[in-house]
Amino acid sequence: MPSSNPANQSFDLELTQELAVLGLAIVGAFLWLVVPVLQPFSLQIIAAATLLYFGIFFSRKGLFKQSWLQTDQFSLIYESGVISFILLLLIGSTGNTTSLLFPLSYAHLLLIAFTGKRATTILGTGAIILFHYLLTPTITAQVAVNLSSLPLMSFFFLFAKHQYFDLKIQLAKNAQQSELITQLESTELTVDAVLRSRVIPTLTWLATQVPSAWSESINQTISKTQEAANLLEANSTQTKND
Q: Determine contact, residues 124/22, Cβ cutoff 8 Å.
A: yes
Q: How far apart are CA 67 and CA 58, in angstroms?
A: 9
**What mean pLDDT is reported for the chain?**
76
The angle at the Cα of 170, spanning 164 to 176, to the nearest 5 degrees, equals 140
Confidence category of residue 129, pLDDT binned at 50, 70, 90:
very high
Q: How confident is the model at residue 235 (pLDDT cuts 50, 70, 90)?
A: low
- Angle, CA 110 vertex, CA 33 and CA 42 arms, to 5°: 20
For the segment 64-91, the average pLDDT, to the nearest whole number, is 71
Q: Identify the band that residue 88 occupies on the pLDDT scale cut at 50, 70 and 90.
A: very high
What is the tens place of the pLDDT at every residue in 22-69?
Answer: 999 999 999 988 888 887 887 888 888 888 887 777 776 665 444 444
Q: Does residue 194 surpass a pLDDT of 70?
A: no
Whole-number Å distance between alpha carbons of 177 and 53:
41
In the predicted structure, residue 206 carries a pLDDT above the cut 60: yes
User: Which stretch, 145-154, 164-173, 175-184, has highest mean pLDDT?
Assistant: 145-154
- Can you tell me the distance from the alpha carbon of 93 to that of 39, in angstroms, rounded to the nearest whole number? 8
Confidence band (pLDDT; 50, 70, 90) for 183?
low
Terminal CA-CA length for the chain: 55
Of 198, 185, 177, 188, nearest to 232 by C-alpha is 188
- pLDDT of residue 127 exceeding 90, the answer is yes
Predicted pLDDT at 1? 45
Range name among 26-30, 115-119, 159-163, 215-219 with the lowest pLDDT average:
215-219
pLDDT at 44: 83
More confidently predicted of 224 and 40: 40
The C-alpha atoms of residue 143 and residue 2 are separated, in whole angstroms, by 44
Mean pLDDT across 223-238: 68
pTM for the whole structure: 0.61
Local structure of 64: helix, strand or coil: coil
Q: Is residue 211 very low, low, confident or very high in pLDDT (cuts 50, 70, 90)?
A: low
